[in-house]
Structure 1
Amino acid sequence: MKKVIVSERTLRDARLASGLVIFIFIAMHMLNHAVGLISVETADHFRRPFLALWRNPIATVLLYGSLLIHFLLVLRAIYIRRNFVMPKSEAAQIVLGLMIPLLLIPHIVGTRVANELFNYRDTYAAVVTQLWISSPVNGVQQSAVLVIAWLHGCIGLHFWLRYRTWYGWASPWLLVLAIMLPVLALLGFSEMGRTIQSPMGIGRGYPGGYYDPTAPLPLSMVQLATIRMWAYGIFAVSLVALLLFRFYRQLRERADRIAVRYPDGQVVHVPRGFSILEASRLGGVPHYAACGGKGQCSTCRVQVVSAEGNLPAIGTLEQRTLIRIKPEPGVRLACQLRPTGNLTVAPLLVAMPDTMVPANSQEISPGRERDIAVLFCDLRNFTTLTESRLPFDIVFLLNRYFAVVGHAVEDTGGQLDKFIGDGAMALFGINSTPEEGCRQALEAAHLIIAGIEELNVELAKDFSTQLQIAIGIHTGHAVVGTLGYGRVKNMTAIGDTVNVASRLESVAKQFNVPLVISEPVARLSGVDLTGMETHEVSLRGRELSLNVFIPVSQTNAASA
């Protein structure tokens, strides 16, 4: 296995940690700007603890070290990328990452550097006067970098948090905060500028406008301009050096190319060292990669049909992912496999070409493995009921039944997955623990059974047939993600756990009872098993039998 000095995981952690430091600084800085809506004096008052925090030696090293690390990692990301065929979100991250330091240079030099070298008091009155009155173009530029840096950070946080269980319900509130904070900051800056510029402004007590006795002298301004030019020069040299290194690498690789063949006969020639995923993107071959090619999922996996020479050894990141899916021999992750010779591969999860994907149907959640509880319910003997009733009566009954199920699931914190005929599927524990999910599913089953009994009493005069429910609940691993096509997409779950829950609903019909739960559900929920029968049942499609618990009556089922 090839040894590396710094692993990809370490670099990702460094990028995340440095990004969080910068993001916290920007958020606090914008909050300070927003206070300017009250007054300039109030903004300067809240500026003191802000400076006490961020201008002490430790925080200074932390902040500017984070800026340097983040910039260097952006340069590295550009260098290691073999081509610039990438999703728009990744392109936006790279472009914004390059724009931020370029636009920040004049602000850092004009405030922090001037303060350190010439004891310049970079108060809000002084800085806003300079940006709003003396150099409004520079003021627009600094407003733009504030928004760009915030947008860059929000995109990064979204990609970091999007698979967290709580992110689904928290994201609308976070979006509101992400929009409000920069808007309030810009309004605060604007209000302070208008206040200082107005005849009643705090600076009008001085002849000719606001005057700051600590402002740098002309000679000092020349020195600051020199520092600023040096900073621009270092930035430019870094980019030029990066492009030269890339160009030199391309010249070397052009004479050392390999061929990647696909099952449809397409051949993509790429330089040695390209990953299979990069080859697919470069050649326009549809290739699914839910995590964006970071080795965190297995959706880009390929079957290596044939290869010239030995394949590179499996790295730690790739091995960790492959262990989870237990693939057949010869299966590798396309984003991690960088072949050194010609080879033929077959993508195992074939993505749709972009031309087949409808507009506005971007994937919300490509899938994440979670421990959840799954509830299936179905009406027994419903086919017999439909044969003796008008279709409009059946529609009425189904809507009343669906309302009972829907309210029960939502009231207990679950999520309705789908209705299939007279059946329904619901998920529990997506945003909580498996234990809580099992308790929620059992409570929902209680409410469904009670609701069906009330519905039978209500409709007894009009419908002679009594509705009878069958419910199965199981818990375990499942892949939860967005499935569908176009606008017809919804969050759902797939996996053996879902199949077992469906089979348990059939077991409930076989035993003529309203509820059957698996042993894992009983164990995790801590339900009282008194009055329940236990059976070992064989389920279709499973080699091992499963212990289940069955209430002996409607009353016991409701008390579960």
Structure 2
Amino acid sequence: MPTAALLGFAEFGMTMTARARTDPQWMRAMKARGVPADAHRAKLRAALKDWAGPSWFAVVGLVFSIAQVRNWRQRHARFKVTYADDVMIEAPIGMSVLEVSRMARRAHMSVCGGRARCTTCRVQIAGTAGELPEPGELEAAALRRICAPNDVRLACQLRPKVDVTVQPLLHPSLVTATHHAVGQEFGEEQEVTILFVDIRGSTSLAETRLPYDVVFLLNSLFAALAEAVEKSGGYYSNFTGDGLMALFGLDRERAEGARAALRCALTMFETLDSLNDRLVGELETPFAIGVGIHTGEAIVGRMGPPKTPILSAIGDSVNTTARLESTTKELGVPLVVSVETLHAAGIRTSMPLEEVSLRGRAGTMAVAALDKASLRRILI
């Protein structure tokens, strides 16, 4: 827009100049227009006209000079960070303590990359030459969550304007030597669809059958469930005795990941029916499962012992999914899906939603209580 305005201004000036050259009388009339009849006022107008140009340039030059002086002072305004080993680093005001550590190539833990999504970069303030800025909303929330004392701050958020002495509280040597990338070691935050499955009645099965029989039956079921996850494009994460967790949407579109999880649940129900038919002589009560599905942010990465890590996820979304699975017992259905997953999958259904309360979560959550038939209908 400014460029177009300047071009228009230049075009108008060229037009006026061309007319003035071809029509001198018009030019004289234009110059005479607006000249006061009073001689004194006309003289004053002429004086102001003579001074207007130089004065304007002087004002512009003064403003420019003031701005340059201010920028110079800002660039040269500095503070010092002193570490516990008496190493002192000087840096321009505006940098965070974490950025100062990185500039000086000092090892400083920061799992989330300096976004106040963790507290691994926290430092203890051992001394300061003046007032430090108050913690922002993100930093204050993170510090409250770990009940940090008043002299502890997040290095990624603290941007001092005065000299400060700090002591990092988490030593960077805690990073496993067998990993090299932060994302590889600590995972990355992303939106995923999480599926939790729990086997109903596994405890009574163990009480009435021999251990090897239980192993055989459970392995048969887990093999069928894991195959359903694989066929649906999900990632088998881990299992806990009588349940498993799977992740969807790690390397595909959000909507496709959510729909894949729903298709996986349908495949599990169909596979379970087939497995129960094959094991009809082995089971007093057919296998039954409860499934919870939710879509949300989680930290996804390889976790566990360095030699045998697994792809897994942690975070509030994972806890929510596990509690949705538990809700299947209360609602008397095999599947509970959060409304977030339905929206992510692009599914608009006229079926009524349930409002459920989940342990550890304020307020209620809208969910769909489904069985195999209703799940098939919404996927069509």
Does the TM-score normalized on the shorter chain lie above 0.5?
Answer: yes
Amino acid at match of 2:153: V
Secondary structure at the aligned position of 1:460 is classed as coil
Aligned pair partner of 1:542 in 351, 358, 361 = 361
Contact 2:81/2:97 (<8 A) preserved: no
**Alignment CA distance shift 1:360-1:381 (3 Å):** same
Please list the CA deviations of residues 100-157 of structure 1 after superposition, one character each: whole Å capped at 9, or x if unmatched.
Answer: xxxxxxxxxxxxxxxxxxxxxxxxxxxxxxxxxxxxxxxxxxxxxxxxxxxxxxxxxx
**Alignment CA distance shift 1:395-1:535 (3 Å):** same
> Residue 406 of structure 1 aligns with which residue?
226
**What does 1:236-385 correspond to in 2, within 5 Å?**
259-260=82-83, 267-273=84-90, 276=97, 287-290=108-111, 300-310=120-130, 323=138, 326-328=141-143, 331-334=153-156, 340-345=162-167, 347=169, 351-353=172-174, 357=176, 360-362=178-180, 364-385=184-205
Identical amino acids, percent of aligned pairs: 32
Q: Which has the larger radius of gyration?
A: 2
CA–CA separation in structure 1 for the residues paired with 2:190 and 2:161: 33
> Residue 263 of structure 2 aligns with which residue?
443
CA–CA separation in structure 1 for the residues paired with 2:131 and 2:228: 54
**What does 1:371-520 correspond to in 2, within 5 Å?**
371-520=191-340
**Alignment CA distance shift 1:384-1:495 (3 Å):** same
Q: CA deviation at 1:385?
A: 1.1
Amino acid at match of 2:297: H
**Alignment CA distance shift 1:507-1:517 (3 Å):** same
| More strand, by proportion | 2
**Alignment CA distance shift 1:259-1:380 (3 Å):** same
Moved over 6 A (4+): 278-286, 293-297, 311-314
Contact 2:125/2:153 (<8 A) preserved: no
How many pairs align?
Answer: 288
Contact 2:114/2:156 (<8 A) preserved: no
Q: CA deviation at 1:525?
A: 1.6
Contact 1:268/1:283 (<8 A) preserved: no
CA–CA separation in structure 2 for the residues paired with 1:470 and 1:392: 24
**Alignment CA distance shift 1:549-1:353 (3 Å):** closer
Contact 2:89/2:104 (<8 A) preserved: no
CA–CA separation in structure 1 for the residues paired with 2:360 and 2:157: 33
Please list the CA deviations of residues 186-244 of structure 1 after superposition, one character each: whole Å capped at 9, or x if unmatched.
Answer: xxxxxxxxxxxxxxxxxxxxxxxxxxxxxxxxxxxxxxxxxxxxxxxxxxxxxxxxxxx
CA–CA separation in structure 2 for the residues paired with 1:384 and 1:495: 31
Contact 1:312/1:339 (<8 A) preserved: yes
Amino acid at match of 2:87: V
Q: CA deviation at 1:376?
A: 0.3
Contact 2:354/2:368 (<8 A) preserved: yes
RMSD after superposition: 3.7
**Alignment CA distance shift 1:406-1:352 (3 Å):** farther
Q: CA deviation at 1:490?
A: 2.2
Contact 1:268/1:280 (<8 A) preserved: no
Structure number with the bigger relative contact order (C-alpha 8 A, sep ≥ 6) is 2
Which moved further from structure 2: 450-459 or 331-340? 331-340
Secondary structure at the aligned position of 1:327 is classed as helix
CA–CA separation in structure 2 for the residues paired with 1:465 and 1:298: 46
CA–CA separation in structure 2 for the residues paired with 1:295 and 1:498: 21
| More helix, by proportion | 1
Contact 1:405/1:448 (<8 A) preserved: yes
**Alignment CA distance shift 1:498-1:396 (3 Å):** same
> Residue 13 of structure 2 aligns with which residue?
none
Amino acid at match of 2:374: N
Q: CA deviation at 1:278?
A: 8.3
**What does 1:133-172 correspond to in 2, within 5 Å?**
none
Secondary structure at the aligned position of 2:85 is classed as strand
Contact 2:198/2:290 (<8 A) preserved: yes
CA–CA separation in structure 2 for the residues paired with 1:308 and 1:257: 10
User: Please, what TM-score do these two structures have when normalized by structure 1?
Assistant: 0.45
CA–CA separation in structure 1 for the residues paired with 2:244 and 2:340: 21
Secondary structure at the aligned position of 1:268 is classed as coil
The answer for unaligned runs of 5 or more in structure 2 is 1-77, 144-149
Secondary structure at the aligned position of 1:430 is classed as coil
Q: CA deviation at 1:336?
A: 7.2
Amino acid at match of 2:216: F
